[in-house]
């Protein structure tokens, strides 16, 4: 296996373009039926469709939110793509983390401006963009990707969205377990097949109170990472969840859920890093019968007397 290859970012502001449209900007043209076509502005070029053409020169220099009429009489509304739009349409190597999950990662893993975040793996760069947006120019996102071809795609997508290399991003080709050198990290985000294999490295990298967040696809992966976090000893009780997104049709009095929705895309598991040498308190649960073998020393009736602890983050109790 070749040595990990860190890629240092070149100087850049990492800012999203704003103001009037300029050559090189990406523009979304939306037709009256809501169909979206994304173009890159080039002087002298034309956007062609079966409904006529729109000149790039007409768009360049005008503000966002402008309407252009094609040669065929169809009106197109022009905006720069939002990050959520860009993420679901970007060129892909690995599957992307969808915006609804990226939003939950930023919120539930508490990614804040100036945070030092470790990401494994980079995939196609969608989550990297959301993390970079959250940490800002004074934070740091260190992304690790095993596959050089995926790393190239991620780099191209991140630089395309931010208009160049982001000053807060470092991309390393190599596995997290072998290549990780960071310490004092605030957050670790794992988007990989077997996140439980990295828990020793993650525990060494995280500060006490830091958080690990794993994004996994299946229930068996979720079960494994939760149980291994519990057994590791360096983490507080993990929290597992998923997010479902359903849009609504609203047209006068016709108000109903849309027939299609973004259902399951992945599970998220979060856990806090304990201080060194601290033993986490034993959690008292009321599991389903047969979920765990009953210890031989457990007095009869104790399991039935346990209080279920299903509190989610933010829940409080008063005595």
Per-domain boundaries in the chain? 26-81, 85-293
Q: What is the dihedral of CA 85, 89, 91, 97, to 10 degrees?
A: 70
What does the chain come to in residues?
A: 319
Is the Cβ–Cβ distance between 176 and 199 less than 8 Å?
Answer: no
Question: Which residues on adjacent β-strands are paired with residue 29?
Answer: 37, 78
Q: Is 191 annotated as a binding residue?
A: yes
Residues 6+ apart with CB under 8 A from 317: 311
Stretches in the chain below the pLDDT threshold 70: 1-17, 287-319
- How much is the pLDDT for 284? 74
- How much is the pLDDT for 312? 54
Residues 6+ apart with CB under 8 A from 103: 130
- How much is the pLDDT for 46? 95
Q: Is 236 annotated as a binding residue?
A: no
Q: State whether CATH 3.90.1200.10 applies to domain 26-81.
A: no
Closest among 236, 266, 271 to 127, alpha carbons compared: 266
- How much is the pLDDT for 315? 55
- How much is the pLDDT for 305? 43
Tokens of 200: 């020793």
- How much is the pLDDT for 121? 87
Q: What are phi and psi of 186, to 5 degrees?
A: -85, -35
Helix (H) or strand (E) holding 68: strand 66-69
Q: Is 101 annotated as a binding residue?
A: no
Q: Is 126 annotated as a binding residue?
A: yes
- How much is the pLDDT for 301? 46
- How much is the pLDDT for 50? 87
Q: Which fold is adopted by the domain 85-293?
A: Rossmann fold (3.40.50)
Cα–Cα distances (Å) from 307 to 80, 128, 133, 293, 310, in that order, read 52, 40, 41, 18, 9
Q: Is 145 annotated as a binding residue?
A: yes
- How much is the pLDDT for 85? 92
Is the Cβ–Cβ distance between 312 and 237 less than 8 Å?
Answer: no
Cα–Cα distances (Å) from 208 to 193, 205, 278, in that order, read 26, 10, 10
Q: Is 253 annotated as a binding residue?
A: no
């Amino acid at each position: 296996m070749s040595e990990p290859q860190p890629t240092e970012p070149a100087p850049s502001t990492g800012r999203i373009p704003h103001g009037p449209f300029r050559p090189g900007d990406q523009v979304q043209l939306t037709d009256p039926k809501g169909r979206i076509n994304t173009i890159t502005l080039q002087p002298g070029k034309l956007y062609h469709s079966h409904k006529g053409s729109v000149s790039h020169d007409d768009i360049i220099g005008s503000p966002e939110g402008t309407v252009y009429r094609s040669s065929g009489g169809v009106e197109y509304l022009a905006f720069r793509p939002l990050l959520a739009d860009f993420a679901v349409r970007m060129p892909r190597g690995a599957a992307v983390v969808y915006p609804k999950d990226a939003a939950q990662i930023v919120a539930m893993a508490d990614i804040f401006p100036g945070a030092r975040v470790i990401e494994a793996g980079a995939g196609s760069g969608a989550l990297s963009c959301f993390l970079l947006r959250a940490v800002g120019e004074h934070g740091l996102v260190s992304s690790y990707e095993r596959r050089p071809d995926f790393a190239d795609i991620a780099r191209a997508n991140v630089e395309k969205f931010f208009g160049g290399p982001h000053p807060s991003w470092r991309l390393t080709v190599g596995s997290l377990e072998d290549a990780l050198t960071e310490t004092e990290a605030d957050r670790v985000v794992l988007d990989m097949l077997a996140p439980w294999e990295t828990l020793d490295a993650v525990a060494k990298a995280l500060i006490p109170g830091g958080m690990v967040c794993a994004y996994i696809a299946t229930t068996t992966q979720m079960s494994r990472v939760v149980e291994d976090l519990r057994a590791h000893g360096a983490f507080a009780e993990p929290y597992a969840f998923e997010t479902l997104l359903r849009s609504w049709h609203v047209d006068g009095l016709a108000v109903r859920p849309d027939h299609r929705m973004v259902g399951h895309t992945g599970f998220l598991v979060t856990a806090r890093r304990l201080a060194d040498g601290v033993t986490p308190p034993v959690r008292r649960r009321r599991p389903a019968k047969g979920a765990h073998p009953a210890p031989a020393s457990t007095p009869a009736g104790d399991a039935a007397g346990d209080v279920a602890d299903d509190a989610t983050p933010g829940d409080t109790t008063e005595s």
